[in-house]
Amino acid sequence: MKTNKAICARLFKDKEWITKRDILDLQVQFREDLWHFQFHSMEPNEDGKISIENFLKTSLPSLSGSAINKYKNRIAEFVKKIGDDDKGVSESEFISFKYFFDELDQVKAKAHRFRYLDFEQFEEIVADVTKDVKTKRTKEPVKVPQHIARTFFEYLDEDHSGELEPEELMAFSQTSMG
């Protein structure tokens, strides 16, 4: 009940009625708050970053069935590969990535259209789908850094071909992400 009152107070602050835009803004804010909570539940280090391993593990809820174990193994492979070179992921980078992941269907569509995506194409798509997005909390532009885009690209590239084929993207469903 207390939460409901807080939401109503926030929604109706200085207003007689609310608009569809108000509801959509609230939805985005809730989503960002959830991402903030998710990030901090992974116990960031003293630099305020989570490990690449924990970052990649946040993709697991978007998978189902045997794909979960397959990608758990991919994460272990990837972590072994990077060793001590883990740059980590800050909260703003994490939230920026989540905004990108919300638009994963655009990546899938382009992979189908071109039959594959190399890293340069993938990076262009990442920049394109996040170019006009600003976070609700900090009002900062969303930017997925190259090392995170590269990490996710390599994580998805199961056959290590340097290209993402449509099949490599299909296991992920952004609708089930937090």
Structural domain for 30, as ranges: 2-176
Q: What are phi and psi of 96, to 5 degrees?
A: -60, -45
Percentage of the chain surpassing pLDDT 90? Answer: 31
* Predicted model pTM: 0.80
Q: What share of the chain is helix, strand, coil (3-state, %, to 5)?
A: 65, 5, 30
Mean pLDDT, all residues of the chain: 85
Predicted pLDDT of residue 10: 67
Give the DSSP letter of residue 142.
Answer: P
Tokens of 160: 């290590």
Beta carbons of 97 and 152 less than 8 angstroms apart: yes
Q: Residue 26: pLDDT above 80?
A: no
Q: What are phi and psi of 151, to 5 degrees?
A: -60, -50
**What's the full length of the chain, in residues?**
178
Q: Residue 129: pLDDT above 50?
A: yes
- Domains identified in the chain, total number: 1
Q: Residue 2: pLDDT above 80?
A: no
Average pLDDT rounded to a whole number, residues 112-116: 88
Per-residue pLDDT of 36-85, as tens digits, reads: 999 999 999 999 999 999 999 998 888 888 888 889 999 999 899 888 88
Beta carbons of 136 and 28 less than 8 angstroms apart: yes
